[in-house]
Chains A and B, each alone.
Chain A
Amino acid sequence: MSVSTEPIQLPSPAEPSTRRRLPRGLRRPGTIVAGAWLVLVVLASATARWWTPFPAEHQDLGQVLGGPTARHLLGTDELGRDIFSRLVAGGWISIGPALLAVAVAFGVGVPMALLAAEHGRRAEWSCSRVAELLLALPTTVILLAFVGSVGVHVWAIMAVLGLLLSAPVYRILLALAQSLRTRLYVDAAKVNGVGSLQVNLRHVLPGLATTIAVQAAQLFALGILIEAGLAFMGYGPAVPTPSWGGLIGDAQQHIYDDPWMMVPTGVVLALTVIAANQIADSLAGERERTAPVRKPARRSGRFVPTAVRPSAVVTSDALLEVRDLHVGVDDGPELVSGVSVRIRPGTVLGLVGESGCGKTMTARSLLGLLPDGVAVTEGSIHFGGRDLVGLTERELQAVRGREIAMISQEPMVALDPMFSVGYQLTRPIRRFRGVGRREARRTALDLLAQVGIVDPQRVLRSHPHELSGGMAQRVCIALALTGSPKLLIADEPTTALDVTVQAEILSLLRSLVRTSGLSVVLVSHDLGVVADLCDDIAVMYAGQVVESGTVTAVLDDAAHPYTGALLSANPHIPQGEEVPDRLPSIRGTVPAPEHWPDGCRFAQRCALATARCHEPIEAAPAHRDGTVRCIHPLSTATTVAPSEPGAAR
């Protein structure tokens, strides 16, 4: 009997309001069948005495060890008793005690977890020590010792099992309850004078519901197995009473002369446990269920190149040129539609916009690192004389790190926690530069010094969890530099950092651009940062570039109402100007990709919108070298008559 509980995937605690509908997992056919089976077994067993063909104890010594017949559907045992009748009758005594164990486990575990979460360190300390102790006890042996001294009392034994199982219940629920209690709505309830019991019942317990249900189903399955195991050893219900474990025990005695006997009970027992586990699995949720399907490197047909246009010749001065890039979810909405941007060597391009505008997707597509199920559907990315769209995974691998590198939003999780900084740096250095261990180490030290780390020796020896956020981001930048790339993609590199550290990282990036000729694509929602660091800017809204050009041109003379709105919502007040009482904000939110309209996507939030805005609008040349996608531009930037629609720039 295995007393191992599979580590339970914690579903993210549901807020109380999301509780009402049945979890989707429960509505799947497999789960319904599983639930129906459990109900059927219990009902059939509870009513067994009225409908089974024979009483469970009815013996027929003329019919011993018979196989299945019309009279005895599942055959007979060594005393000629009908196996089917005994199997049905034994259902409750096999399932009921398991339910009791589950009830005790939660009856003890849940209040303990709630108490420990509520009453702070002291209560938690004592509860946790008790739980640790219970966890360290050998479950089976304790149960047997109980049987040995107190005797065979099935329900009492299972209650003791429940007590032992309350420890894992407590452990898992405690962590969850603690995190729930830090939620704002719980604080709000407490501030409003809601009583402690009320807070627990109304706000904490509902958040634990899913986890409790998952665990209950798993422990129920475990309980059935343990109960059956005990009965199999002879510590089940007293002799003539049938129980599943006991029936299998009987079958074991006749493995030589009637092997059939072990089949029916074993199958019914297994099906019941499978049903309970199935319910646990589906409750545990969709989140963990599916592993991403690995796609064979970019199958043809996934991406249809928009014919080999002669016009697709790369303009000579651009390091990277994105043309008409479309990124979409497989069988879903488009996330990026028709983005065109270019990056000149040694310059910084800022991609700005609110969250959900497709900035990150655009940036990630440059490296072919889109999430599973998202792909480039149209357009081209020209870099170093070839189109990155349509390269195989292997070809892209050669580009990544060596020619284009990336640093991410959250430096604290961007480094592998299991390996030292030294290992993580020297590995790619050796691969990229073909040098030995010692040389790589020296290069790593140089790189760390280059990104402004004061004590490279020590950092090289440390593990990621020993670094601060700013240090980790510096290490990430050093990591990105290991392959001496020409282009660095920085996706909100400072968002997760303290303000002072932000400035340091930005100035580091600036000096890297200046000294090494690196080009950078900077994804940001902070216009101040962009104004500070970038040469060119592309303002994105709802998957499109709505305005682009040099930073000075666009920010000083914004043409698109969205850019204007972003600028006025920006808290960087130029010197000498009056600080407004209240910062203007853009009303409404970015629509979800499936609701993007055909016309101007900003129209519904735009004060200047007219009926014509709801028709498709092409990007028009503006800011000398840039574009704007608006028919009511704020400024005179669009001096060139919008006579050549479609010509991106």
Chain B
Amino acid sequence: MLTYLARRFGLGVVTVLVASVLSFLLVHASGGSPGVITAGEGATKAQIAAENDRLGWNRSLTAQYATWLTHAVRGDLGASLIDGHTIWPDLTQRLPVTASTAVFATLVSGVLGILPGVLAAVRGGRLDRVITTLSGITLSLPQFWVGIVLVYVIAVKGRLLPATGYVAFTTSPSQYAQSLTLPVLALGLTGAAIIARTTRAGMVNALQQEHIRTLRALGTPAWRIRYLHALRFAGAPVVAVLGVQFIALFGGSVIIEQLFALPGLGQAAQNAINTHDFPAVQGVVVIATVVVVATNLVLDLVLATLDPKVRAA
């Protein structure tokens, strides 16, 4: 188990390094240069060259990457080319916004997804068909479109919640909740549909297992068979998909943050891209990869506690 985790951790570190190299190379392959941006519009070639020189752009690639890396491990991701603010504190300030939406959306998709999925598998018949069809439609809807519809129905027509904006939890917990409800719903509904599908398939499969027949042959009460044994058997894939979803939601937040004007990582990514703020792009890629890697590690741990076979591996 420990070696397994160590191996996964090692892979995680490698992944983050590869992501940083990739983004580093992308930046250099793009043909642009940071001097163009820092020197401002209408700068002469000489001015741009001087800026590039100052930023170390003309040094060898390995030297530049080494410098970046030694700074990065100390939490220094450099400064923005646009306004010179340091990137690390900016991103860490934005992290809670994106993390809030992703965590709550994952919770929503778990809660709204597992119940109908179990019901569909256990009841079968018409209820199963209704749930399967509904989830099939819901998971096909683009999240940003669901978001717009929600804004229109709940914020514009219903005036129940604010359409856009973000209020920090520390400022006002209730407004924080209000500002997150719509984005979380927009992300969580499609997630719930996917979870419902996964849960249903897992439960149907679980209930056909031989060990379930053993339990029935022992006269085990039906509720115990379904909600303890079958659900636990079906649990591992559901948890895995929830983890994948959390990761996807973290990435998907880019669009939702634009739609709801949330000052999260996604917004930072978009700003960086639109202004060709190379260090910021690199910073976002690295932070996002770290989140993905960390999530995967947590997922491995959870799966190990769920499944004794994994634990032994």
- Report A's interface with B, CB cutoff 8 A: 1-7, 9, 129, 132-133, 136-142, 144-151, 221, 225, 228-229, 232-233, 245, 248, 251-252, 255-256, 259, 262, 266, 269-270, 273-274, 276-278, 281, 288, 290-294, 367, 369, 393, 397-402, 405-406, 408, 410, 413-420, 427-428, 431, 463, 465-466, 476, 479-480, 482-483
Residue among A142, A256, A269, A293 with the most chain B CB within 10 A?
Answer: A142
Q: How far is the CA of A248 from the CA of B152 in the complex (A)?
A: 13
Residue among B12, B29, B201, B306 with the most chain A CB within 10 A?
Answer: B201
Task: Answer yes or no: B39 CB below 8 A from chain A CBs.
Answer: no
Cβ contacts B251-271/A at 8 Å (1 or 0 each): 110110011000000000110
Task: Answer yes or no: B180 CB below 8 A from chain A CBs.
Answer: no
B18 touches A133 (CB 8 A): yes
- Within 8 Å CB of B200, what residues of A? 291
B210 touches A233 (CB 8 A): no
Please list the 6 inter-chain residue pairs (A to B) with the smallest Cβ-Cβ separation, ordered nearest first: A140-B251, A148-B273, A400-B219, A149-B30, A401-B218, A273-B140
Task: Answer yes or no: B185 CB below 8 A from chain A CBs.
Answer: no
- Within 8 Å CB of A6, what residues of B? 139, 194, 197-198, 241
- Within 8 Å CB of A136, what residues of B? 11-12, 15, 289, 292-293, 296
List 23 contacting pairs A-B, 8 Å CB cutoff, sorted by A. Answer: A4-B191, A136-B12, A137-B15, A140-B251, A141-B254, A145-B285, A149-B26, A266-B141, A266-B148, A270-B140, A277-B140, A291-B128, A291-B204, A294-B123, A294-B124, A406-B217, A408-B213, A413-B210, A416-B211, A418-B229, A418-B232, A431-B220, A465-B312
Residue among A6, A269, A466 with the most chain B CB within 10 A?
Answer: A6
A262 touches B136 (CB 8 A): no
A-B contact sample (11 more), CB < 8 A, given A150-B26, A221-B140? A137-B19, A139-B248, A142-B285, A145-B269, A149-B29, A229-B142, A266-B149, A400-B219, A406-B217, A417-B211, A463-B312
Task: Answer yes or no: B66 CB below 8 A from chain A CBs.
Answer: no
B29 touches A150 (CB 8 A): yes
Contact of A248 among B26, B144, B233 (CB under 8 A): B144
B32 touches A149 (CB 8 A): yes
Chain B residue nearest to A146 in the complex (CB): B26
Q: How far is the CA of A133 from the CA of B205 in the complex (A)?
A: 30
**Those of B264-303 within 8 Å (CB) of chain A:** 269-270, 272-273, 276, 278, 281-282, 284-285, 288-289, 291-293, 296
Chain B residue nearest to A418 in the complex (CB): B232
B148 touches A233 (CB 8 A): no
> What does DSSP make chain A's interface, helix, strand, loop or mixed?
helix
Given known A139-B251, A229-B142, contact A144–B22 (CB-CB < 8 A)? no
B26 touches A141 (CB 8 A): no
Q: How far is the CA of A232 from the CA of B144 in the complex (A)?
A: 8
Chain B residue nearest to A278 in the complex (CB): B136
- Within 8 Å CB of A278, what residues of B? 136
A2 touches B211 (CB 8 A): no
Contact of B15 among A133, A269, A398, A428 (CB under 8 A): A133
Nearest-Cβ distance from residue B262 to partner chain A, whole angstroms: 14
Q: How far is the CA of A276 from the CA of B309 in the complex (A)?
A: 36
- Within 8 Å CB of B144, what residues of A? 228-229, 232, 248, 252
A225 touches B142 (CB 8 A): yes
Nearest-Cβ distance from residue B232 to partner chain A, whole angstroms: 5
Residue among B207, B237, B285 with the most chain A CB within 10 A?
Answer: B285
Given known A3-B251, A4-B241, A144-B269, contact A133–B216 (CB-CB < 8 A)? no
A401 touches B217 (CB 8 A): yes
Task: Answer yes or no: B50 CB below 8 A from chain A CBs.
Answer: no
Given known A2-B191, A6-B194, A274-B140, contact A416–B251 (CB-CB < 8 A)? no
Contact of B201 among A9, A133, A233, A405 (CB under 8 A): A9
Residue among A6, A138, A270, A294 with the most chain B CB within 10 A?
Answer: A138
Contact of A255 among B143, B156, B244 (CB under 8 A): B156
Chain B residue nearest to A398 in the complex (CB): B219
A149 touches B312 (CB 8 A): no
B245 touches A414 (CB 8 A): no
A138 touches B156 (CB 8 A): no
Nearest-Cβ distance from residue B230 to partner chain A, whole angstroms: 10
Tally B residues with Cβ within 8 Å of A: 97
Q: How far is the CA of A479 from the CA of B273 in the complex (A)?
A: 63
A400 touches B124 (CB 8 A): no
Nearest-Cβ distance from residue B210 to partner chain A, whole angstroms: 4
Q: How far is the CA of A570 from the CA of B125 in the complex (A)?
A: 46
- Within 8 Å CB of A248, what residues of B? 142, 144-145, 148
- Within 8 Å CB of B151, what residues of A? 255
- Report B's interface with A, CB cutoff 8 A: 11-12, 14-15, 18-19, 22-23, 26-27, 29-30, 32, 120-125, 128, 136-137, 139-145, 148-149, 151-152, 156, 190-191, 194, 197-198, 200-201, 203-205, 207, 209-211, 213-222, 229, 232-233, 237, 240-241, 244-245, 247-252, 254-255, 258-259, 269-270, 272-273, 276, 278, 281-282, 284-285, 288-289, 291-293, 296, 306-309, 312
Chain A residue nearest to B131 in the complex (CB): A291
Q: How far is the CA of A151 from the CA of B269 in the complex (A)?
A: 14
Chain B residue nearest to A235 in the complex (CB): B273
B19 touches A229 (CB 8 A): no
Given known A7-B241, A294-B123, contact A415–B211 (CB-CB < 8 A)? yes
Given known A140-B252, A266-B149, contact A145–B210 (CB-CB < 8 A)? no
A405 touches B194 (CB 8 A): no
- Within 8 Å CB of B251, what residues of A? 1, 3, 138-141
Residue among B27, B251, B288 with the most chain A CB within 10 A?
Answer: B251
Contact of A7 among B141, B220, B237, B272 (CB under 8 A): B237
- Within 8 Å CB of B136, what residues of A? 274, 277-278, 281
- Within 8 Å CB of B125, what residues of A? 293-294
Contact of B194 among A2, A133, A273, A413 (CB under 8 A): A2
A466 touches B312 (CB 8 A): yes
A142 touches B218 (CB 8 A): no
Contact of B259 among A252, A465, A479 (CB under 8 A): A252
Given known A233-B254, A262-B145, A401-B217, contact A145–B281 (CB-CB < 8 A)? yes
Nearest-Cβ distance from residue B89 to partner chain A, whole angstroms: 20
- Within 8 Å CB of A146, what residues of B? 26
- Within 8 Å CB of B221, what residues of A? 397
Given known A9-B201, A270-B145, contact A465–B285 (CB-CB < 8 A)? no
Nearest-Cβ distance from residue A452 to partner chain B, whole angstroms: 20
- Within 8 Å CB of A414, what residues of B? 210-211, 213-214
Chain B residue nearest to A276 in the complex (CB): B140
A233 touches B15 (CB 8 A): no
Q: How far is the CA of A266 from the CA of B140 in the complex (A)?
A: 11
- Within 8 Å CB of A291, what residues of B? 120-124, 128, 200, 203-204
A148 touches B241 (CB 8 A): no
Q: How far is the CA of A149 from the CA of B222 in the complex (A)?
A: 58
Nearest-Cβ distance from residue B145 to partner chain A, whole angstroms: 4
- Within 8 Å CB of B291, what residues of A? 138
Q: How far is the CA of A251 from the CA of B147 in the complex (A)?
A: 12
Q: How far is the CA of A133 from the CA of B18 in the complex (A)?
A: 8
Q: How far is the CA of A147 from the CA of B274 in the complex (A)?
A: 9
Residue among A270, A399, A420, A428 with the most chain B CB within 10 A?
Answer: A270
Nearest-Cβ distance from residue A373 to partner chain B, whole angstroms: 11
Q: How far is the CA of A510 from the CA of B68 in the complex (A)?
A: 75
B245 touches A2 (CB 8 A): yes
A413 touches B209 (CB 8 A): yes
Contact of A416 among B233, B285, B288 (CB under 8 A): B233
Q: How far is the CA of A400 from the CA of B211 in the complex (A)?
A: 15
B214 touches A150 (CB 8 A): no
- Within 8 Å CB of B27, what residues of A? 149
B229 touches A416 (CB 8 A): yes
B141 touches A270 (CB 8 A): yes
